[in-house]
Structure 1
Amino acid sequence: MKQYGIDGVFMQRFVVSIRNQKGKDNYNKILNNAVLSAEKYDRAICLMYDLSGMEAGEEDILICDWKELCEKYKLVSRNNNHYVYHHGKPLVAVWGIGFNDRRKYGYEQVKKIIDFLKSEGCSILVGVPTHWRTLTIDAVSDTRLLELVKQADIVHPWLVGRFDNNTYEPYRKSIEEDIKWCKANGKDYMPVLFPGFSWHNMKKDAPQNMIPRLGGRFFWKQVKGAVDAGAESLYLAMFDEIDEGTAFFKCTNTPPVGESSFITYEGEAPDHYLWLAGEAAKYLRGELRSSRMPVR
């Protein structure tokens, strides 16, 4: 990350995984490694609690976990130079709010989490559906979703897999409208950008490269679209996601042969997308003269 100019990472913690000690120990080991590396290489980390699969009542697991991690890593301490702060407050992401896929938690559980984190002095990023603002399609048709969003500080709609290179334009316009809403309501906005998509690594009958990467052109179209629309921060999904074929980390074009076949980078260098991620950061900061996709 330091080599390629990537600022930091959100460390996902699934509530369903930390409900048992084995899962919690695993996540804690990963987090501990990340904390040590962030300090060593001067990168930033931020906790992201994913509520997917959570049962009503398990919001208390998240609350207890946050308290434990704050005690161990001093996350809210001003002496912690490698945890993400937003407007002077430690940032916590709460992902999975307002999706209409019949989740077993809802408004009351999420409100309890947000109220707790605010009482802890945190800034809050909420991970919401693509169509959160209109309360349609993948979002619940419940105006209380907008009430929750207004209690947060950063709006983070999930866009992965929603479009390809040919169907991006309506979503670019949606990002523009999202940003207008956020500015009108005093919220920051962090859109999701992804390099491509494929379920092939999880489901053998799914097509490989279902949403083609096109050598990075698909990703760069999103970079330009989001930044030109007024986005001031970008979330790249995902650093290491092989299951959905969205990984940015180094990936060989000649994987070993076995029961599983892995997505490749279509002949591009193994570090191509890490490099492009760093170039996206430069474009976001206004350091590139041209909006065209950079060439090495």
Structure 2
Amino acid sequence: MCLDVVNWMVGRISDVAGADHYYNNVNQQDQADCNAHGIDYQPCVIPGDLQSGHRRHGDLMWRQFYNLTRVGVQGLYISMFDEFNEGNQIAKTAETAAWVPTGSGLRALDEDGTACSSDYYLRLTNDGGRLFKGQAPLTPVRPTAPMG
């Protein structure tokens, strides 16, 4: 039997301070409780809502990778690959407004003023996976360049 706990983060945090608050007030306690009961802890990592301007060119997502790795989770769940309508996709996304279909209501990755390549969140997810697996140093500073 597989026992694990997954926190769904969509709508719960929107910035690095929120990610840190969740780490201090939820993740640490959840991990301790799961450890005590032999349950794997596999929280959700979100890139942030692009439509609401939460991404901060990867800082929100990276902070979650950092926090969850240092708390010792057993797995990570990335939300989501292609939910363009909800704005939390990691799939290739329009770099600038010039790439966005007219009238779509979608925002581009440079919405916060920082240019990001269309595959940026895929690359960031890869680096987060390397961090989680111990293949990259544990650092709160996002190593992934927005343009790569």
How would you bin the TM-score normalised by the shorter chain? 0.7 to 0.9
Q: Which amino acid letter does the alignment assign opposite residue 169 of structure 1?
A: D
Aligned equivalent of 1:282: 130
Find the aligned partners of 1:216 and 1:169 in 2 and give their Cα distance: 15
Aligned equivalent of 1:163: 13
Task: Check whether the contact 2:80–2:89 (CA below 8 A) recurs between aligned residues.
Answer: yes
Find the aligned partners of 2:56 and 2:37 in 1 and give their Cα distance: 37
Find the aligned partners of 1:183 and 1:290 in 2 and give their Cα distance: 21
User: If you compute each CA radius of gyration, which structure gives the higher value, 1 or 2?
Assistant: 1
Find the aligned partners of 1:179 and 1:290 in 2 and give their Cα distance: 18
1:194 aligns with 2:41: no
CA distances 1:211-268 after superposition (whole Å, capped 9, x unpaired): 5211101110111011111112111100111121110010122334333222221230
Relative to 1, partners in 2 of residues 1:264 and 1:187: Cα closer, same or farther, differing over 3 Å? same
* 3-state SS of 1:233 partner: coil
Aligned equivalent of 2:63: 221
Find the aligned partners of 1:279 and 1:272 in 2 and give their Cα distance: 11
What's the RMSD between the two structures over aligned residues? 1.6
Query: Kindly, what percent of the aligned residue pairs are identical?
Result: 27
Aligned equivalent of 1:293: 142
CA distances 1:123-157 after superposition (whole Å, capped 9, x unpaired): 44xxxxxxxxxxxxxxxxxxxxxxxxxxxx11112
Higher strand share: 1
Find the aligned partners of 1:259 and 1:212 in 2 and give their Cα distance: 21
Task: Check whether the contact 1:197–1:244 (CA below 8 A) recurs between aligned residues.
Answer: yes
Gaps in structure 2 of 5+ consecutive residues: none
Find the aligned partners of 1:245 and 1:288 in 2 and give their Cα distance: 28
* 3-state SS of 1:157 partner: coil
- How many residues are matched? 136
Find the aligned partners of 1:211 and 1:265 in 2 and give their Cα distance: 9
Higher helix share: 2
Aligned equivalent of 1:179: 31
Aligned equivalent of 1:83: none
Structure 1 outlier segments of 4+, above 6 Å: none
Q: TM-score, normalised by structure 2?
A: 0.84
Gaps in structure 1 of 5+ consecutive residues: 1-122, 125-152, 199-207
Mapping of 1:110-189 within 5 angstroms?
A: 123-124=1-2, 153-165=3-15, 166-173=17-24, 174-189=26-41
CA distances 1:70-98 after superposition (whole Å, capped 9, x unpaired): xxxxxxxxxxxxxxxxxxxxxxxxxxxxx
Aligned equivalent of 1:270: 118
Greater RCO structure (CA 8 Å; 6+ sep):
2
Q: Which amino acid letter does the alignment assign opposite residue 294 of structure 1?
A: P
